[in-house]
């Protein structure tokens, strides 16, 4: 059995990011030994004896990586911007699960100088964004059902991830300003990068090669 210094744990974000990450890992020679989508397990052995995969919510990935419970991780840039964290390296953009983090408001709603009520789960990002714009806002923390918040009188606007924009339009909203272009990034614990440098750098090189092949 490998010692901790000879093995790497990679934390993955479940859902769309997981589905788009697995083919890249496969090209890098890392493939789970069982179907991750059908299993209730959270930790998976792989075809590479030194690598294990850990599956969780995206918001938990940077927490696990920064605190060393996982050596590496894959998370959306939105989660990384919201979390912050100085104990992380962000060496590789996988270019997958692309979308935008945007403000959105009811169609044809006028811009006013009044204090905005903004519903979002990205409270840290929204706070910084509106502060840079010189706007005073009241932030309302929601983890779901953001699109109906304006219609129900809970908020004047929202800050959320926008892919096609169909959900916004279906709920009478329109995108306004782009806060950030989002894609999935590989993150690495700073201490792990030093202690397990050879193995981690090899994985990063193989993942980068897989990304480059897809962009050719």
Which tokens go with 157? Answer: 């606007």
Question: Closest Cα to residue 59, out of 72, 47, 76?
Answer: 76
Prediction pTM value? 0.90
Which tokens go with 203? Answer: 């994985």
pLDDT at 111 (0 to 100): 73
Residues 117-132 pLDDT 10s: 999 999 999 999 999 9
- Mind listing the domains of the chain with CATH numbers? 4-97+183-215 (3.40.190.10), 99-181 (3.40.190.10)
Give the residue with greater pLDDT, 157 vs 214.
Answer: 157
Neighbours of 127 (CB within 10 A): 15
Residues 17-42 pLDDT 10s: 999 999 999 999 999 999 888 888 99
Question: Closest Cα to residue 65, out of 2, 4, 10, 124?
Answer: 10
């Amino acid at each position: 059995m490998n010692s901790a210094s000879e093995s790497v744990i990679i934390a993955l974000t479940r859902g769309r990011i997981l589905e788009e990450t697995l083919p890249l890992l496969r090209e890098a020679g890392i493939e789970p030994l069982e179907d991750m989508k059908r299993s209730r397990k959270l930790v998976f052995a792989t075809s590479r004896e030194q690598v294990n995969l850990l599956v969780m919510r995206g918001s938990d990935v940077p927490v696990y990586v920064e605190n060393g419970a996982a050596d590496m991780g894959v998370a959306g840039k939105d989660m990384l911007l919201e979390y912050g964290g100085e104990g992380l390296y962000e060496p590789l953009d996988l270019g997958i699960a692309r979308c935008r983090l945007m403000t959105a408001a009811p169609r044809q709603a006028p811009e006013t100088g009044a204090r905005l009520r903004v519903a979002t789960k990205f409270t840290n990002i929204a706070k910084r964004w509106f502060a840079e714009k010189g706007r005073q806002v009241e932030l309302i923390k929601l983890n779901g059902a953001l699109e109906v918040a304006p219609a129900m009188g809970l908020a004047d606007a929202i800050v959320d991830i926008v892919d096609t924009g169909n959900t916004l339009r279906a709920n009478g909203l329109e995108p306004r300003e782009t806060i950030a272009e989002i894609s999935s990034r590989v993150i690495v614990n700073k201490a792990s990068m030093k202690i397990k440098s050879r193995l981690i750098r090899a994985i990063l090189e193989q993942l980068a090669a897989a990304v480059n092949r897809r962009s050719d």
